[in-house]
Amino acid sequence: MSNVYIAPSILSADLARLAEEVAAVESGGANWIHVDVMDGHFVPNLTVGAGLVAALRRITELPIDVHLMVERPEWYIAPFADAGASVFTLHPETTAHVQRHLDQVKACGMLAGLALNPGTPLDYALEVIADLDLVLIMTVNPGFPAQKYIPSATNKILRARQLLDDHLSQARLEVDGGISRSTIGEAHRAGADTFVAGSAIFGSDNPTAEVQELRRRCFQVV
C-alpha cells in the first residue's frame, strides 16, 4: 500500500478549523495535502492563494500539492515555492511555454506536474514527459467540488499509465474529481497511484477513518 498516495483537498475542508482538519487527515495516513488554486478565468470559481499555503506550511510537514487552475501560472511559481509548496501542477492550455515553466518549477525546488482536463489530449504530456514528476488526470471538469466522476476518465487513466510505462517515467499518476469509496478502486486498477479527494474525506463523519478506508478500497478485490 506504500505506493498509494492519498491527497485530501482542503477545498472541501472547514477553513475555520484548518489545523484540526489537517491533523485529522494526517492521523489517517494522508501523504499530501492538496490545494486547488482557481482564478475565476480558466475555471469559473475563485479560491485561495499562496497565503493559505504558507499557513498550511506552519501547521504540517506533509508535502503540499498545489494545483494551479489559473491563466499565466508562471506568475505564481516563485510565490508558491516561497510559501512552502512541494508540488506545482499547471494546465498546458494556460501558458505558451509549458516546458520552460516546468523547468522553472523544478528550479524553485518543487515537483513539476501537468494537469489534463477531460477534453485535453494526452499528447500534451507526451511532448514534455521527460520534464514531468506528476501527471494529473482530471476526472471531472474542474472548477467546483463534489462533482461526479466521469466514467470515460478510466480509459484515459489507462492510457496515461501506458504512456508513462512506455517511456520509463517515474512520474506519479494522480487523479482528481469525484474520488470516493465507489470510484477509487476503479481508478487505481486503471493505473493511478495518487488520489485527490475532498468532499469524500472532509464531508465524512470521520476524516481520519475515511483516508484509511479510501486506501483500503484501492486493494479491495472485485
Q: pLDDT category, 41, cuts 50, 70, 90?
A: low
pLDDT at 28: 97
Domains of the chain: 5-217 (3.20.20.70)
Percent of the chain with pLDDT over 70: 93
Parallel/antiparallel/unpaired status of strands 111-116 and 134-138: parallel
Indicate if the pLDDT at residue 145 is higher than 80: no
Q: Per-residue pLDDT tens for 46-72?
A: 677 889 999 999 999 999 999 998 889
**pTM metric for this prediction:** 0.94
- The catalytic residues are 36, 176
Q: What is the pLDDT of residue 49?
A: 82
Q: State pLDDT tens for residues 146-163.
A: 678 999 999 999 999 999
